[in-house]
Structure 1
Amino acid sequence: MRRRLAAGNWKMNGTGAALSEIESLALKHPSPSVDILICPPATLLHRAAVAAESTGIAIGGQDCHGESFGAHTGDVSAEMLTDTGATAVILGHSERRVDHGEQNEDVRAKARTAMDAGLKAIICVGESLEQRDAANTLDIIGGQLSGSIPDQSTGENLIVAYEPIWAIGTGKVPTLEEIGEVHDFIRARLERRFGEGVGRSVRLLYGGSVKPSNATEIFGVSNVDGALVGGASLKAEDFSGIIQALESV
C-alpha cells in the first residue's frame, strides 16, 4: 500500500517567526497516519528540521542544482539540502519551469542528483490553460514524464505531483474526472516504463487550489495519493484540515 502524503510548499514565504506553524502542526498531529512534509524556503531549512525533530513532520527543499558542487553562485546542491536535515526536494515546479526557463532535461539532471544524495524527488508536471483548452494535456504530461524522470527512479525516491498551471493559486480546480484522467494516465505511464512493481509504488500527488473544503473529494479520486499544497500550507490550521481529510479517506 502506498502511504499517503500531504506536502506543503511554502514557496518564497516565511521567516523565522513562521517556524511556530510547524510546531503548531506537530501538536495537532502527534501521531499522523499519513506522511507530512513541509518545504520551506532554503533560509529556514535547518531551523525547520530542528523544529520538526521527533515529530511526524519531515522537511524538504524547493529546488536543487543539477550538479553536486561547483561554481554556481546562489544555488543549493542536493547534498547541502541533506546536510540541513531535508529528506525530499520539489523539482520542476511550474514556477521554476516558467520563471527560470527550466526544461525537462534540467529537471531530470536535478532529480538524478537529488536521488544520488538520498533525497526523495517530487517531480512536478502540469499543463497551461491554453494547452488544456487545445486538448493537449496528456501529450504535455507524457512529454514531461518522459523527459523529467530519471531511469534510477523507484517508489522510494520518486513522487510525481500533477499541478495544472491554471489551477495554482487561482481558486480554479479541474473536475474530479479531469484529475482522475491525468492521474490514471501518469500511473499507466510509470507502469509501462518501470514495470508494475515500481509503477504502482510511486505516490502521485495533486496540487492546485487544494483546501480543506475540497480536499476530501479530491482524495477520493483514483490514483490520488495526497496533495502538494501551496498557500494553504502556510498556516497550521488550514493545512491541518487538509491532513485530516487525507487521513479520513
Structure 2
Amino acid sequence: MPALKVSGLTFAYNGGPLIRELSFDLRPGDFMCVLGPNGSGKSTLLKLLTGFIKPAAGSVRLGGEDTSALRPERLARLAAYVASETATPYDFSVRELTLLGRTARAGFWRGYSAEDGAAADKALEETGITRLAGRSVNTLSTGERQLVFIAQALAQEAKVLLLDEPTSHLDLKYKSGIMELLSRLAGKGLAVAAVLHEPALAVFGCNKALILRGAGAYSFGSAAEMLAPAHLAAAYGVPPTSPLLPK
C-alpha cells in the first residue's frame, strides 16, 4: 500500500488552476524531490497534502486513509511537515522543541511520558544533534535550527515526512548534510517528499521527482528520467547547458 496516494488533485488560485488533476503515489522508502519555478504551486502542494488547505477536487490518502475525513491529531500521526519558516516565539531548549512533536500522541494536557521522551531523544540522535539538547534554539545557527525542526517532525513517528525547502539559506555543509539525512531516512522506510529550490540538490538520493511547471502542468516519474537537463531546462526556461542544472 502506498504511504501517500494523490488522485486527481486540483486547486485554483485567483481564478486560474495552480494544480490540476495531479496524481502520484509514494511508497515506504521513496524520496521524492518537488521542483519547479517560483509560483508553480510547490508549497501549496505540501499544504494540500497535510490538510492545511482543501482541494477543489481530488483526494489525498495517507496510509490508505482519506485526509478529508481525518482530525488534525490523526493527520499528525500519519504525516509530519517541516515548514520553510521556522521561527520560534519562545525560548525553547532543543529537546523541549523536539518534544512538541509528540503533542499529537501525548495530547495538550496529559503531559509527556517516558515513551515521548525516548522518541524525542531518538529523533535528536537520528539528526545528529544530541549534543545540542540543552541549548536554547535561539542560540543556534540556521543549519542547526533546521535540524531541530526535522527532529521535531521525526518525533511524531509518522510514516510520511514532508519538507518545504529544507535547505534554503544554508551553507554547503548543511545543504549536503540535510539531503544525506533525508536519503538515509528514506532508506529506513520513511516516505519523504522535499520541495527543493535548487534542482542540483536532487542528486542526493532522490529516486522520484515531481516537476510542477505552472498553470497545472506537471511531470512525475523516476528521478533518473525527470532530472535530465533537457527536461529541467524546459520546466525552468533555461538552457540545458546551465551550470545550475544537475549533470
TM-score normalised by the chain length of structure 1? 0.41
Q: Which has the higher helix share?
A: 1
> Which structure dedicates a bigger proportion of its chain to strand?
2
When Rg is computed on C-alpha atoms for both structures, the one with the higher figure is 2
